[in-house]
Each structure stands twice: as structure tokens, then as C-alpha cells.
């Protein structure tokens, strides 16, 4: 007796269905010219400034202090 359920043949697996949709979408898109790839069609939102590094709980000990402690 098999433990696995047998899938009915008329139901393709979801992954296969998604792959077919992706293939159709790729076929519909026309290849872009190189210039179009380099220039975005709509202006991009300005990137937010990078986050400052998180504050350390303990300030870093200068090397001279480490030498005294060691």
C-alpha cells in the first residue's frame, strides 16, 4: 500500500504552473535596447541615508589602556 496520495493527472503541480506563467511573461516582453536598460523610465526615489552604526554598550578601549590592563 502506498503512503503517498496520487495526484490526478489533470492537476499540474503548482511549481510547474508558475514556471509556465513565467515563461509566457518572458516571451511577451520585448528585449530592451541597451540605452533603455541604463536609463530608468521613471525617476527612482532617493535612497535614505545609511544608518549610523549602532552605539556600542562599552566604548572601545584605547590600545594603551589595553596594554596596561594586560
What are φ and ψ of residue 2, in 5° steps?
A: -85, 140
Residues 39 and 52: their CA atoms lie apart, in Å, by 30
Do the domain assignments include residue 32? yes
Task: State pLDDT tens for residues 21-63.
Answer: 777 766 665 565 555 556 565 666 667 777 776 666 666 666 6
User: Which residues constitute the domain of residue 35?
Assistant: 16-65
How many domains, in total, are found in the chain?
A: 1
Do the domain assignments include residue 35? yes
Do the domain assignments include residue 7? no
- Please tell me the predicted confidence (pLDDT) of residue 28: 60
pTM: 0.19
Do the domain assignments include residue 2? no
Task: State pLDDT tens for residues 4-18.
Answer: 666 555 565 566 677
Residues 38 and 33: their CA atoms lie apart, in Å, by 9
Amino acid at each position: 500500500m502506498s503512503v503517498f496520495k496520487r495526484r490526478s493527472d489533470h492537476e499540474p503541480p503548482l511549481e510547474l504552473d508558475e514556471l509556465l506563467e513565467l515563461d509566457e511573461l518572458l516571451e511577451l516582453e520585448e528585449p530592451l535596447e541597451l540605452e533603455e536598460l541604463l536609463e530608468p523610465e521613471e525617476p527612482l526615489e532617493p535612497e535614505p541615508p545609511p544608518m549610523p552604526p549602532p552605539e556600542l554598550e562599552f566604548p572601545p578601549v584605547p590600545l594603551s589602556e589595553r596594554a596596561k590592563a594586560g
